Amino acid sequence: MVEILNQRGAEARPPEVLVRHWPRTWSVKGTRMLQYSALDPFEYHRLGLGKYDPPKTTRRQVRLEIYLPLAIAVLIVVGVGALLGSSGVGDASVWADTALALLLGMAFILGLLLLTVLTAAGVGVWYVIRVLPGPLLRARMGLAKARDATIQVSDRAVRPVVISSAGLQAARATLRQVAGIFQR
């Protein structure tokens, strides 16, 4: 969502703007303000605001949140491999057992995560089953009242048409009977 405002609140042209960089910093460019709810690099380029240069805080966050844990994990794997390689264990079955243990550990962690999610879902369903019957019963009763009122209104609206149609049909049947008597 893009909202372009000048200082008085009127709409402005995009080139002279106060730009909010993705995700949180502001930079001054002219006297007007261009406010972005979610400005990503592609939208930055599409709007003609030049080359996207992420703020230093974003770069620091990327280093701390992505590269650092990835580097630590790689160092741990390399360290375990180096320890196993330097121990003189060269038999293929030992390496297979180690790989199997690591794979089973990963599967165990994923299974534990899945068990946690399913347990949370079960607790949520138990809570919803305890809480919802009262409000749902009230909603059902309200909908039943609305249905009954709709039926009454539609019956009242249709009644004149049905009565006149039934009267017309009765008159036709009576005329047929009378005509049938005189035709014999």
Domain membership flag for residue 13: yes
Is 106 within the bounds of a domain?
Answer: no
Same-domain pairing of 49 and 26: yes
The whole-model pTM stands at 0.33
Q: Which residues share a beta bridge with 145? A: none
- Strands 33-36 vs 2-5: parallel, antiparallel or unpaired: antiparallel
Among 10, 30, 54, which residue terminates a domain? 54
Q: Is residue 84 domain-resident?
A: yes
Secondary structure in 3-state letters for the chain: CEEEECCCCCCCCCCCEEEECCCCCEEEECCCEEEECCCCHHHHHHCCCCCCCCCHHHHHHHHHHHHHHHHHHHHHHHHHHHHHHHCCCCCHHHHHHHHHHHHHHHHHHHHHHHHHHHHHHHHHHHHHHHHCHHHHHHHHHHHHHHHHHHHHHHHHHHHHHHHHHHHHHHHHHHHHHHHHHHCC
Mean pLDDT across the chain: 76
Question: 23 and 10 in one domain?
Answer: yes
4 and 30 Cβ atoms separated by less than 8 Å: no
Residue 109 placed within a domain: no
**Whole-number pLDDT of residue 147:** 94
Q: Which residue has the tokens 């014999």?
A: 184
Instruction: Return the pLDDT at 154.
Output: 92
Does residue 153 form part of some domain? no
The parts of the chain modelled with pLDDT lower than 50 are 1-38
Domains in the chain: how many in total?
2
pLDDT of 150 reads 94
Residue 145 structure tokens: 């009242």
Domain region containing 83: 55-88
Q: In terms of Cα–Cα distance, which of 52, 61, 20 is closest to 37?
A: 20
**18 and 48 belong to one structural domain:** yes
